[in-house]
A and B are shown apart, each in its own frame.
Chain A
Amino acid sequence: MSGRRIFARPAHFAAIAPYVWMVLFFLVPFGFVLKISLSQTAIAQPPYEPVFDLMAGWGALKAAFAALSIDNFRLLVSDDIYVFAYVRSLTVAVTATALLLLIGYPIAYGMARLPARWQAVAMVLVIVPFWTSFLIRIYAWINILQHDGLLNQILLALHLVSQPVVWLSTDSAMYIGIVYSYLPFMILPLYATLAKMEPVLEEAASDLGAPRWQVFWLVTFPLSLPGVGAGVLLCFIPIVGEFVIPDLLAGSNALMIGQTLWLEFFTNKDWPVASAAAIVLLVVLLVPLLLYERLQKRQLEQGR
């Protein structure tokens, strides 16, 4: 009997604690979100007790099911604010992810070209800002972008502008903040695939007479697609639900879905609508995830 077989059983025991934890604190809570998203606003006043009364028996359970309604979802579809917020979130996420790819790719490419010893240093340098609090990083940008902040001072000193430019509470500020916060998430997966790539392939292409841009576009970029996919996914999904960065840098005019959900929950205290908004957001995010999975499967089938 091989050692591997013997070990299989204790490893299964190891799964018990994390399994129970995740079911209890990850899966079950979604049941509650679903349940409350289907309750009526009027009868569903916070704090929603009891959400599920298992002691009440079948009759009560049936009554509870009968009281469920899809009104909240209807509201989400019919109210322009929500439709707008979803569209807006997706637009911002697509734009920001494209920017991240444009900015992150050359950096990851440069890292992969460094001598091996320096690659490790560069990787640490990219990871360290990710360890520093994101709130602090956003705050650092508020310092720089505010009316009499450093950016305007420099622009004025260089006579590039004649009076301070409004940066805060604009979309540009929001994009700067998002790109800044998510850059490591884009660079690292890109770097991982670029560093693994055989330089021989690029050399072969240039030996055969391909100009630099063709070597990049026909050899390097296609081979780095798995990294591009991972980086895009890692940035896109959280950006769609982003709340803090647009709130602090773009102000109330940003209104992405994360902010709308937050407002609905904390300010309007309409938990059912907030829950319904969360469920729609989840469904929206499942689409890119499934697309990515299909892409990966196809790449595996191609033998890589």
Chain B
Amino acid sequence: MRKVSRLSRFNVASLSLGLAFLYLPILILVIYSFNASRLVTVWGGWSLRWYHEFFNDRAMIEAAWMSLRVAVSSATIATLIGTLAAVALSRGERFRGRTLFSGMLYAPLVMPEVITGLSLLLLFVALNAERGFWTVTIAHTTLTMCFVAVVVQSRLGSLDRSLEEAAMDLGYDPLRAFVAVTLPLIAPAIVAGWMLAFTLSLDDLVIASFTTGPGSATLPIRIYSEVRLGVKPEINAICTLVIALIAVVIVIASLASKLSSSQGESAAPL
């Protein structure tokens, strides 16, 4: 027997207040990005003035381009290695150093970013590596592959293994069984992992600040230094563009998971 609804008035109130708290500030920011007035707080009518300003700001454009390149490359490498890590964790029962392996994969998830950033910088300095695009990409890959591993592993864990074993009983070797049977089934999680890695990299300020060199700032670094000097309406426009980009990413990710759920499998939450 099912109860019709266990939702009390208190539940509804806390839910709507919570969601309002989460969304109102972002909504306000988006609205004010179309404000014609120089003063962030005075409404001067709708205008695209600050978007125009952004597209004429060479330094900002360069930083945005750098961020995008880093995000795409690090997300791609992180997805490859992170998926391998997930496979190793969920399919390789026991191997030497498994505890250390999973420890290393989970630690960056909770570790303060200042520590990760600092330690990577010291490594790059010791290796005498020129700091810039590649050092930031490596740093972001290290962080985001852990997230990819977690997302893909949760999908692998919920998968019925007998499908793969059936393929092997029918004569496929383990690798072919994995590629032909398991890989398509975990594809949505891999896509979601890539998206997550992409947005995390696009978002990161602290690790990028430690691992980048002079003249190759990412967008968050630029925004951060601008914001410290005071509120500028142009930042509202940039932020809105980033939000729009991320919205597109989320739509793609949810389409990917819908595609998989129409195949009769429920998708991973992230």
Residues of A at the B interface (CB closer than 8 Å) are 2-4, 6-12, 14-15, 17-19, 21-23, 25-30, 32-33, 36, 46-52, 103-104, 106-107, 109-111, 113-115, 122-129, 131-137, 139-144, 146, 148-150, 153, 180, 183-184, 187, 199, 203, 233-234, 237-238, 240-244, 248, 258, 261-262, 265-266, 271, 274-275, 278, 281-282, 285, 289
Q: What are 21 inter-chain pairs, A to B, with CB distance below 8 A?
A: A3-B168, A7-B174, A7-B178, A10-B175, A11-B87, A11-B91, A14-B85, A18-B85, A18-B145, A23-B104, A32-B123, A32-B126, A107-B18, A131-B246, A133-B246, A139-B29, A183-B21, A187-B18, A238-B110, A266-B209, A275-B118
Least Cβ–Cβ distance between A48 and chain B, in angstroms: 6
* Cα A9 to Cα B168 with chains together (Å): 14
- Interface on chain A toward B: helix, strand, loop, or mixed SS? helix
B105 touches A136 (CB 8 A): no
Chain A minimum-CB-distance residue to B198: A131
B168 touches A133 (CB 8 A): no
Contacts of B112 in A (CB 8 A): 237-238, 240-243, 258, 281, 285
Chain A minimum-CB-distance residue to B233: A143
A143 touches B125 (CB 8 A): no
Instruction: Using A21-B81, A22-B142 as known contacts, say yes or no to A7 and B91 having CB atoms under 8 A apart.
Output: yes
Instruction: Using A30-B119, A36-B122, A258-B112 as known contacts, say yes or no to A135 and B205 having CB atoms under 8 A apart.
Output: yes
Is B262's beta carbon under 8 Å from chain A? no
Instruction: Using A14-B87, A27-B104, A278-B119 as known contacts, say yes or no to A258 and B249 having CB atoms under 8 A apart.
Output: no
User: Chain B CB within 10 Å — which of A2, A113, A153 has the most?
Assistant: A113
Contacts of A150 in B (CB 8 A): 28, 41
- Interface on chain B toward A: helix, strand, loop, or mixed SS? helix
* Cα A146 to Cα B77 with chains together (Å): 41
Q: Chain B: how many interface residues by the 8 Å CB criterion?
A: 94
Contacts of B58 in A (CB 8 A): none
Is B48's beta carbon under 8 Å from chain A? no
Contacts of A139 in B (CB 8 A): 29, 223, 227, 235, 239
Chain A minimum-CB-distance residue to B149: A18
B236 touches A143 (CB 8 A): yes
B110 touches A233 (CB 8 A): yes
Contacts of A199 in B (CB 8 A): 3, 6
Contacts of B19 in A (CB 8 A): 122, 125-126
* Cα A51 to Cα B149 with chains together (Å): 32
Is B169's beta carbon under 8 Å from chain A? yes
Of A15, A124, A131, which contacts B101 at CB under 8 A? A15
Chain B minimum-CB-distance residue to A153: B41
Contacts of A149 in B (CB 8 A): 40-41
Contacts of B39 in A (CB 8 A): 148
A261 touches B114 (CB 8 A): yes
* Cα A199 to Cα B82 with chains together (Å): 37
Of A7, A26, A46, which contacts B168 at CB under 8 A? A7
A46 touches B8 (CB 8 A): no
Least Cβ–Cβ distance between B44 and chain A, in angstroms: 14
Is B25's beta carbon under 8 Å from chain A? yes
Instruction: Using A21-B145, A248-B228 as known contacts, say yes or no to A107 and B14 having CB atoms under 8 A apart.
Output: yes
Of A52, A135, A237, which contacts B110 at CB under 8 A? A237
Contacts of A122 in B (CB 8 A): 15, 19
Give the top 5 A-B pairs by smallest Cβ distance, nearest first. Answer: A241-B112, A11-B92, A29-B119, A15-B88, A106-B14
Contacts of B82 in A (CB 8 A): 18
B10 touches A131 (CB 8 A): no
Given A10-B174, A110-B11, 11 extra CB contacts under 8 A: A6-B168, A11-B91, A127-B270, A131-B250, A146-B231, A148-B41, A180-B25, A241-B112, A243-B114, A275-B118, A281-B114
A22 touches B174 (CB 8 A): no
Interface residues of B in 11-67 (CB under 8 A from A): 11-12, 14-15, 18-19, 21-23, 25-26, 28-29, 32, 39-41
Contacts of A12 in B (CB 8 A): 88, 92, 95
B128 touches A49 (CB 8 A): yes
* Cα A25 to Cα B138 with chains together (Å): 8
Chain B 105-146 near chain A by CB (<8 Å), digits 1 or 0: 101101111110011101101101000000000110110010
